[in-house]
């Protein structure tokens, strides 16, 4: 019987109860109890079919955890990435994201996995740094290392623990109160069978207790199943002792059969669901409804309905078990790959090169193997520590041999010192130069070159670096001061352009198209000659373009034609550029990029239109997409026309070069 509807007992119920003899009441009560008990036995016997291995227990356990706190169920919705392949920085970022955006009670498994992976990687990182410190002459007892990643991780993890502790502290009190409330409802339910009152009143009190039970808050997971079983047990006792007439009981049976049939149908559909995690989560919900919200069905349907539900449960569970078996196989394959990587690292570690160039290649190879190891996926839990230790041992052996080699590279470090001194002398000679374009490029080059040079003896490293940095800073400070002067010039340019716009606003068309176009062209040429404006005020260029476009439109010039007319100014600029060929090449690359972007936008928007296949063209969303498609198509046509003009310029340039070379050849 639905708990969401109020049922009134038939008017004859009270009278019948008063006239029916005790033996018939007892017989009917026994019949009800026998049917309920029989359904329990049916479900318990068929449970064994679905419980292989422990399918129902697994569902009950998960439902109990979800019932403890409604937000806990969200843990199923949070993706579980492969944290093993993330580096320390990414692990910190992932932990920050979870703590900031997700419910603290839903991320425990994620946080534990991140913590384990971070600690493993940090331990390996510290070991490497310690070996480098010792190889450079340091004492192990003096080793200290301040890791930004570790500090950030500790801060975020401490924040997580604080939020978690505060949450569970407040939740504990609520759980105790809710548990006491539910136990009191059970006591009220038990008391109903001993109350001497009108059956309608008793039944209404029963429905009231059920309503209160449904709205009672969560209780501790440890108490969930026992409390529910106790509650359900006394529900059955109530049905037995209340001695409900058959008409009302049959209505209950009919409703329960209809609802359970829906559940079975959905469970059978889930048995074919490709997403096993989704199927299992929904199956949990179905079991929760079956178990908590619905009562027994008629005797003739009992075995069949529960058998179907059990069979569907078993199917999903077996598919899930197969998935995990397959996952175990994947982990075994990952283990084979990782063991092969470890052996390859060992082989390199046992034959570290005595040549600097070759050793650099080996270092690069070891880094590649390390990355491959981290991305190879998870291995079986039972060998995880063993595999990790073997990996660390192999990498450590290589690092020790590598460091032993570099410990004796005093000659090479002296060569590096000489190279850096030469770069320092060059930087000092350039620091007061005023040939800004050439010197800036050269200063950046020598800075890049400096980074590529290896270690120098420790006693020289700090001083030579300080002198080099001071020389570079001296030059770039002068350059920045010059840029400030250029900014003043850009401000002047802005004022000129603003004045040009004001004159353009007052410009009146004569009605003679050629004359008006020539006047507009003069404005654009004047605009181009003014020069750059401050970056924050560059929208003045858009304002100018809008006014020009409006004038072109009034002259009867289409948007595409106006774009080409304006582009004619660009073509004229390219003709007067010093390095004309390079300028044209850069412009062609820019236009081709714009063409590709326009095509991509059109494809994306046309794909979006497919989602509105059944929608009317009067739909505002459809109209907006169509409008944007047409705009991008117009833009694409304009860019193609510009490219055509540019190709003509390039071809003419090539022709002129070929003709000049031909004349030179004849003179020879």
Q: DSSP per residue over 266-300, as a string?
A: HHHHHTT-S-HHHHHHHHHHHHHHHHHT-----HH
Average pLDDT over residues 75-85: 73
> Which pair of structure tokens corresponds to residue 247?
């008409």
Average pLDDT over residues 594-609: 83
With 0-12 CB in 10 A as exposed, 13-18 as middle and 19+ as buried, what is 447?
middle
pLDDT at 630 (0 to 100): 81
Spatial contact of 537 and 491, defined as CB atoms under 8 Å apart: no
Q: 269 or 327: which carries more pLDDT confidence?
A: 269
Phi, psi torsion values for 350, nearest 5 degrees: -80, -10
Query: Percent helix, strand, coil in the chain (nearest 5)?
Result: 85, 0, 15
pLDDT at 467 (0 to 100): 92
**Dist. CA 153–CA 155, nearest whole Å:** 5
**Dist. CA 490–CA 533, nearest whole Å:** 4
**Angle of the 148-192 helix axis to the 88-101 helix axis, nearest 10:** 40
Q: 66 or 545: which carries more pLDDT confidence?
A: 545
Most confident range, picked from 122-131, 219-228, 462-471, 568-577: 462-471
**Dist. CA 365–CA 395, nearest whole Å:** 12
- Judge whether residue 465 has pLDDT over 90: yes
DSSP state of 538: T
Q: Looking at 55-69, 126-140, 261-275, which range is the least confident one?
A: 55-69
Of the candidates 581, 105, 128, 542, the residue with the CA atom closest to the CA atom of residue 367: 128
Residue keyed to tokens 């908590």: 292
- Judge whether residue 52 has pLDDT over 50: no
pLDDT at 5 (0 to 100): 32
pLDDT at 140 (0 to 100): 73
State the Rg of the chain over Cα.
40
Tell me the three state secondary structure of residue 145.
coil
Cis status, amide bond into 53, omega within 30 of 0 = yes
CA angle 620, 625, 626 (to 5 degrees): 95
Q: Which residues contact 575 (CB under 8 A, 6 or more apart)?
A: 649
Average pLDDT over residues 364-376: 85
Spatial contact of 276 and 263, defined as CB atoms under 8 Å apart: no
Using the Cα atoms of residue 63, residue 66, residue 70 and residue 75 in order, give the sign of their dihedral.
negative
**Dist. CA 120–CA 117, nearest whole Å:** 5
- Judge whether residue 614 has pLDDT over 80: no
Dihedral of the alpha carbons of 88, 93, 94, 97, in degrees to the nearest 10: 160
Q: Which residues contact 631 (CB under 8 A, 6 or more apart)?
A: none
pLDDT at 532 (0 to 100): 81
Band of the pLDDT at 35, cuts 50, 70, 90? very low
pLDDT at 615 (0 to 100): 59
> Which pair of structure tokens corresponds to residue 284?
């949990």
First to last CA, the chain: 110
Of the candidates 214, 182, 211, 209, the residue with the CA atom closest to the CA atom of residue 193: 209
Average of per-residue pLDDT values in the chain:
77
> What confidence tens digit (pLDDT) does each residue in 421-433 have?
999 999 999 888 8
Spatial contact of 491 and 540, defined as CB atoms under 8 Å apart: no
pLDDT at 23 (0 to 100): 34
Count of other CB atoms within 10 angstroms of residue 269: 12
Band of the pLDDT at 49, cuts 50, 70, 90? very low
> What confidence tens digit (pLDDT) does each residue in 555-567 have?
877 666 666 666 6
């Amino acid at each position: 019987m639905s708990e969401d509807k109020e049922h009134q007992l038939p008017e004859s119920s009270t009278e019948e109860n008063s006239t029916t003899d005790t033996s018939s009441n007892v017989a009917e009560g026994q019949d009800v109890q026998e049917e309920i008990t029989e359904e329990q036995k049916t479900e318990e016997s068929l449970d064994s079919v679905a419980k292989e291995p422990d399918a129902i227990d697994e569902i009950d356990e998960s439902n109990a955890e979800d019932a403890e706190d409604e937000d806990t169920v969200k843990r199923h919705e949070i993706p579980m990435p492969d944290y093993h392949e993330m580096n320390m920085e990414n692990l910190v970022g992932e932990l920050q994201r979870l703590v900031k955006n997700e419910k603290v009670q839903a991320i425990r498994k994620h946080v534990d996995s991140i913590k384990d992976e971070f600690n493993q990687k940090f331990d390996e990182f510290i070991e490497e740094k310690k070996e480098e410190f010792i190889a450079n002459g340091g004492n192990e007892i003096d080793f200290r290392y301040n890791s930004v990643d570790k500090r950030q991780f500790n801060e975020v993890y401490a924040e997580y623990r604080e939020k978690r502790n505060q949450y569970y502290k407040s939740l504990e009190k609520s759980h105790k109160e809710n548990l006491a409330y539910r136990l009191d409802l059970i006591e009220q339910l038990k008391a109903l069978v001993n109350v001497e009152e009108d059956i309608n009143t008793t039944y209404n009190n029963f429905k009231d207790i059920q309503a209160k039970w449904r709205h009672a808050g969560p209780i501790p997971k440890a108490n969930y199943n026992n409390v529910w079983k106790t509650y359900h047990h006394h529900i059955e006792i109530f049905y037995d002792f209340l001695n409900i007439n058959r008409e009302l009981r049959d209505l209950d049976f009919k409703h329960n059969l209809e609802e359970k049939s829906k559940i079975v149908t959905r469970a059978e559909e889930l048995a074919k669901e490709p997403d096993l995690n989704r199927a299992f989560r929904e199956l949990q919900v179905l079991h929760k409804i079956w178990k908590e919200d619905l009562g027994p069905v008629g005797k003739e349907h009992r075995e069949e309905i529960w058998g179907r539900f059990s069979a569907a449960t078993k199917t999903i569970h077996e598919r899930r078990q197969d998935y995990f078996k397959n996952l175990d196989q994947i982990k075994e394959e990952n283990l084979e790959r990782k063991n092969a990587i470890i052996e390859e690292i060992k082989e390199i570690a046992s034959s570290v090169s005595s040549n600097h160039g070759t050793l650099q290649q080996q270092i690069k190879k070891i880094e590649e193997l390390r990355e491959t190891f981290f991305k190879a996926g998870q291995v079986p839990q039972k060998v995880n520590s063993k595999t990790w230790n073997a990996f660390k041992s192999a990498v450590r052996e290589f690092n020790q041999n590598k460091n032993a080699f570099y410990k004796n590279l005093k000659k090479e470090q002296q060569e590096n010192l000489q190279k850096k001194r030469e770069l320092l002398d060059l930087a000092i000679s350039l620091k007061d130069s005023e040939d800004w374009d050439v010197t800036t490029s050269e200063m950046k080059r020598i800075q890049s070159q400096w980074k590529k040079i290896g270690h120098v003896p420790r006693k020289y490293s700090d001083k030579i670096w300080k002198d080099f940095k001071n020389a570079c800073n001296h030059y770039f400070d002068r350059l920045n001061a010059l840029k400030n002067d250029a900014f003043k010039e850009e401000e002047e340019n802005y004022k000129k352009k603003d004045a040009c716009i004001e004159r353009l606003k007052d410009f009146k068309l004569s009605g003679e198209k050629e004359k008006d176009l020539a006047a507009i062209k003069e404005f654009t040429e004047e605009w181009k000659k003014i020069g750059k404006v401050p970056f924050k005020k560059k929208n003045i260029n858009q304002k100018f373009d809008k006014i020009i476009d409006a004038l072109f439109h009034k002259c009867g010039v289409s948007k595409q034609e106006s774009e080409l007319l304006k582009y004619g100014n660009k073509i004229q600029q390219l003709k007067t550029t010093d390095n004309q060929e390079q300028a044209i090449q850069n412009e062609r690359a820019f236009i081709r990029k714009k063409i590709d972007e326009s095509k991509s936008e059109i494809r994306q928007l046309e794909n979006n239109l497919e989602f509105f296949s059944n929608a009317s063209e009067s739909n505002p969303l459809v109209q907006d997409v169509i409008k944007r498609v047409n705009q991008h198509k117009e833009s694409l046509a304009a860019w193609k026309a510009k490219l055509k003009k540019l190709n003509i310029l390039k071809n003419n340039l090539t022709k002129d070069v070929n003709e000049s070379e031909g004349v030179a050849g004849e003179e020879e």
